[in-house]
Structure 1
């Protein structure tokens, strides 16, 4: 679990981003606008994104900070983006009882929890616990982040794996795994026991588990 301190001093837990660095959809969306697109928001008022002080040309480039409320992405627009993201549907879960049992018995479901409760009393079948876990040195990142070890990653939601495989963009944080089986075998650390159980499965059951995850 990653504890974060909000601007008002409140302590809360991170839930979004590869390293669980963001506590809300609003902060995650603001971070994406700021770092990925270089657009200012109320949470990130600088109009030059992540340009450093040494990158003077970048910082002096034209921007739209003179827009509504002095931000390129004002609250009125940010709130619409957050509402849209919050309303996105979750892909259906395959009706595969044997695959689901294998997913649980190997220990995959310990972190990739099939369902989480929602504020309205329902459930979201995301296949994640939205928490940080140490996945071993093989998946350690070289980019330091305060308060997080290099091998710690927030459990990636498996909902949408089918679409990711269809796009052939790769799995894991850096896209290194081209198949579900490869992604599983990269796991270590807290997931080492689950990986050992996966390796020990007969080929037919191993293929069934991979097929189950591939359809999420």
Structure 2
């Protein structure tokens, strides 16, 4: 296993933390249109409440290409997002890309549009923002926006994405500890420890 990367550098607490939704805050259900299928990942509410208690604003930036693909509607996305807030508490901002990957929009991650829009809504500079997600497009979008990225790998995360990530945390609790400038938390996941790739990358 590679050396622990969680405590390489201590950062000041961010003004805001933006989260990917599926696979990061809630278990990924491909093109989910059913609020009853929303299941938070372990420790999600605790991690979010820790940020709220610290006065850090929080938001969600999520690709939902099912709208553009015609498998669900904008109302379905709204209902699922509302359920996420019911189980995880309120967020200060939501930004959703509904476009098909072939549409060439400016918002779909790995483009930075969702993050930049959220930063404008929160009136914070991207340089004071942390983005937490589970795949490389989240990290690339953060980098392109000028924000700091923290990867929390799942079964869909590719080994190369782990290697390229600026910071890697084992779980959301560790990612939040790292975002807040603390050094305690879980260990990094080395590429050889990742499960086989499965699931969706919407």
What TM-score bracket applies, with the shorter chain setting the length?
under 0.3
Structure with greater proportional strand content: 2
Give TM-score, length-normalised by structure 2: 0.27
Tell me the TM-score normalized by structure 1: 0.26
Of the two, which has the highest radius of gyration?
1
- Structure ranking higher on relative contact order (CA contacts 8 Å, 6+ apart): 2
